[in-house]
Amino acid sequence: MKTIVNVPTKQSLIRETRDYLMIALGLILYGIGWTVFLLPNDITTGGVPGIASIVYFATGFPVQYTYFSINLILLLLSIRILGWKFSIKTVFAVFTLTFFLSIIQRLASGVVLLHDQPFMACVIGASLCGGGIGIAFSSNGSTGGTDIIAAIINKYRDITLGRVMLICDLIIISSSYFVLKDWEKVVYGYVTLYICSFVLDQVVNSARQSVQFFIISEKYDEIARHINVYPHRGATVINASGFYSGKEQKMLFVLAKKRESTIIFRLIKDIDPNAFVSQSAVIGVYGEGFDRIKVK
């Protein structure tokens, strides 16, 4: 078998550039939601930003420094488990968000929006945070923190990213009571977490949904080998024949998560732009890499 070497092309460079720009956009949205709407209203979010918020409420220590310090440890896990492709963008995201947090806080200094309407501040801030994380994830990036933990668990278990983050963040938000001494603020934190998780799942189109591909191409072997390497999905070769032409040909059958559809379409286009591809959603997929059969 030939060794697959991914040679950078103009098209791939454009895609990578677009991914980094989208990650930066997502982080700007996240930074605005966190520091403009949530932080001034003493509303705690989840994950590392939540820990940074609690430290800020207790000591006044700038959130960007706490956020950056904790993420250094989590990035080591990301590099080891998720690989460099995911982790490089995560490193970029952590540095970028740290940078933007300083700028946003400086620009919004003294500005407290919706101070007498904490619920609206909670809804708007959480929506911006969830949408920002979703955009970052859709571009194979992350804002760090529990996003890394969620991505690691999601790699091995068929659990949505938002649900993993919801479970991980409950303890962090609950602990904010020991600093704020106000259960109402804690409740707003729970609402923020739910909205953020819901918006995240909507943006990434529900990580549990699976799709199937039928691919007809003269370069089926090369396409199958690339799919097997990344996104690391299996491919079944089916013998087929055209009814009109009578020509014998090979057809690939591939099952993948919906979030991996863009990756598969990209590599098909790079290898054979003239390939015939059919994609459809499936109700359930059971087996290695997907759900377990739960019938007793």
Q: Best-predicted range by mean pLDDT among 89-93, 212-216, 231-235?
A: 212-216
Per-residue pLDDT, averaged over 42-69, amounts to 84
Closest CA to 130 of 221, 42, 33, 212: 33
Span 128-140, pLDDT tens digits: 988 888 888 777 7
Phi-psi region of 206 (alpha: psi -120 to 50; beta: other; left: phi over 0): left
SS3 279: strand
How far is it, in rounded angstroms, from Cα 252 to Cα 237?
5
- pLDDT band at residue 296 using 50, 70 and 90 as cut-offs: very low
Domain ranges of the chain: 9-205, 208-280
State whether CATH 3.30.70.120 applies to domain 208-280.
yes
pLDDT at 208 over 60: no
Query: Which amino acid makes up residue 229?
Result: V
CA distance 151 to 146: 8
Its pTM stands at: 0.65
Mean pLDDT of the chain, nearest integer: 81
